Amino acid sequence: MLDPQLLRNDLDAVAEKLLVKGYQLDKKQFLDLEAQRKTLQVQVEDLRSQRNKASRKIGQTKAAGEDIQPLLDAVASLGDELKESEQSLISLQEKLNDLLAGIPNIPHESVPAGNDESDNIELRRWGQPGTFDFEPKDHVDLGAALGMDFEVAAKLTGSRYVVMQGALASMHRALTQFMLDTHSRQNGYTESYVPYIVNADSLLGTGQLPKFEEDLFKLNTEHDNYLIPTAEVPVTNILRDEIISADLLPFKRVAHTPCFRSEAGSYGRDTRGMIRQHQFEKVELVQAVRAEESWQALDELTGHAEGILQALNLPYRVVNLCGGDLGFGAAKTHDLEVWLPGQQAYREISSCTNFESFQARRMQARWRNPETGKPELLHTINGSGLAVGRTLVAVMENYQQQDGSIVVPDVLRTYMGGLEKIKA
C-alpha cells in the first residue's frame, strides 16, 4: 500500500511514476472519494465530540443530584444522526481502501520502462556457458534414467508434480542444506522454521491477497487458511504489527520451505519438466531494514543469492526488471537467470526485490528510531537464495556427461557422503 499522504500531496507525480508499471491511476476517482472522506470524517468526529461532551455533562449533573431529563432530551436525536454519518463514512472508507489497496508500488527511478521480459535490462553476466562435444540433454531426458519421475507423480497427484528417488533426491536435499548453511553461517541470516500454512491476514500483509487469490491453494478448513506460495509470507509477517527496537536491525532471516502455487493462468507454459511445479522447495532470504539502507540491502541480498550460483559454478546473468514485468508490490527487482544448456537459455532462478515500505505499511511492521523516539516503517527486501528445484535442474544440465551421468559439484559432495557422480 502506498502512503495516502503521498497521494494527497503529490498525486500527479505518483500517477506519472506508475505509468512505468503500465498502471493508469484514476486521479479523478481518488480526488472525489478523498473530498467526500474529508467532509464526512470531520462531520462524524464533530458529532462524536458533541455526544461525548453531552454525556460527560449528564454524568456530572447526575452526580450533583440534579435532574438529567432535559439533557437526555437534548441528545436524543444525536445518536441516530451519528449512526447514519458513521455508516456513510465506513462505506466510503471501504471504497477508498479498495482503491488504495489496488494501486501498485511506485517503481524506483532506475527501473526501465517496458511491457514484458523482452524489455528487461541485463546488468551483468557471470561465468561462461559450457561447451559440450555432444548434444546436451535437458533435465527431463537426463532425469528419466536417474530417478526423476513425472508419470508416477501424475498418478499420485496430477500434472506439475515430481517424484525423485535415489541420488537425485539426495542432491536436492544437499542443495537445500548447502544453501541454508551458506546463508546462516557466512551471510549473517538467522535460520528460521515457519508454518507452511498461513491465514489471510498474513497474505494481505505481503500482498498476495486480495488481488492474487487464484494463484494460491486455499484449504478447506473452517478458517481462511492457505498453503504458502513462498516463505516470504510467514517470515516477513513475523514483523506484522510489531515495533521492534533498533538494535534488532537489520532483521535477516533465511528459511527453507516448500512452496505451493496453483499456477492458474500459466497452463501452456513450461509444462515439461520441473521448471514450473505446483509444489517446489525454496530457500528464501528476507531482510527488514531502516529506510535509508534498503537499496544497499537489495544489492547485498542479490549478492548472497549470486554466491550460491558461483559456488556451484553455474553461469548466470542478472537482469533489472522493467516496469511491466515488475511485481505488484515491488519497487525494483533483480532477477537471477541461470544458464540451462538443455534449453540453450537463461532461466529465472531467483528474484530479489526491494518493496521499500509497501509491505511494511500494509502489515504495520515498524522499528523505533531512538533518535526521535518514534516508530518508523521498515523496508522489506527478499529474494530466493535459491529456488531448489530449478537449481537441481541447472546442476543436472550443466554438469551432465556424454553417458548421461551427472558430476556432483564439489561443494555438495560432503552433503552426499562423498558421492562424485550420479549415474544410472
User: Looking at 38-46, 271-279, 288-296, 335-343, which segment touches RNA (CB under 7 A)?
Assistant: 38-46
Q: Of 50, 122, 112, 115, nearest to 81 (Cα)?
A: 50
Per CB under 7 A, 53 contacts RNA = yes
d(CA 261, CA 275): 13
361 given a catalytic annotation:
no
Per CB under 7 A, 152 contacts RNA = no
Q: Which of 16, 29, 31, 56 binds RNA (CB under 7 A)?
A: 56
The active-site residue out of 85, 306, 390, 397 is 390
Q: Are 301 and 287 in contact (CB under 8 A)?
A: yes
The number of angstroms, rounded, from the C-alpha of 11 to the middle of its chain's C-alpha atoms is 26
Strand partners, 258: 281
The active-site residue out of 34, 81, 293, 348 is 348
Q: Which of 15, 22, 36, 41 binds RNA (CB under 7 A)?
A: 41
Q: Which of 42, 156, 246, 424 binds RNA (CB under 7 A)?
A: 42
| 73, burial (CB in 10 Å: exposed 0-12, middle 13-18, buried 19+) | exposed
The active-site residue out of 350, 351, 357, 384 is 351
Per CB under 7 A, 66 contacts RNA = no
d(CA 234, CA 241): 13
48 given a catalytic annotation:
no
d(CA 315, CA 313): 6
Per CB under 7 A, 366 contacts RNA = yes
Residue 170 CB, nearest distance to RNA (Å)?
A: 23
Torsion angles phi and psi, residue 393, rounded to 5: -55, -45
Q: Are 375 and 367 in contact (CB under 8 A)?
A: yes
351 given a catalytic annotation:
yes
Q: Which of 67, 135, 222, 292 binds RNA (CB under 7 A)?
A: 222
d(CA 367, CA 242): 8
Per CB under 7 A, 4 contacts RNA = yes
Hey, is 384 helix, strand or coil? strand
173 given a catalytic annotation:
no
Judged by CB, which is closer to RNA: 137, or 366?
366
d(CA 243, CA 269): 42
Binding residues vs RNA (CB under 7 A): 4-5, 38, 41-42, 45-46, 48-49, 51-56, 58-60, 62-63, 68, 72, 75-76, 78-79, 222-223, 243, 366, 368, 373-375
Just list the catalytic residues.
261, 276, 348, 351, 390
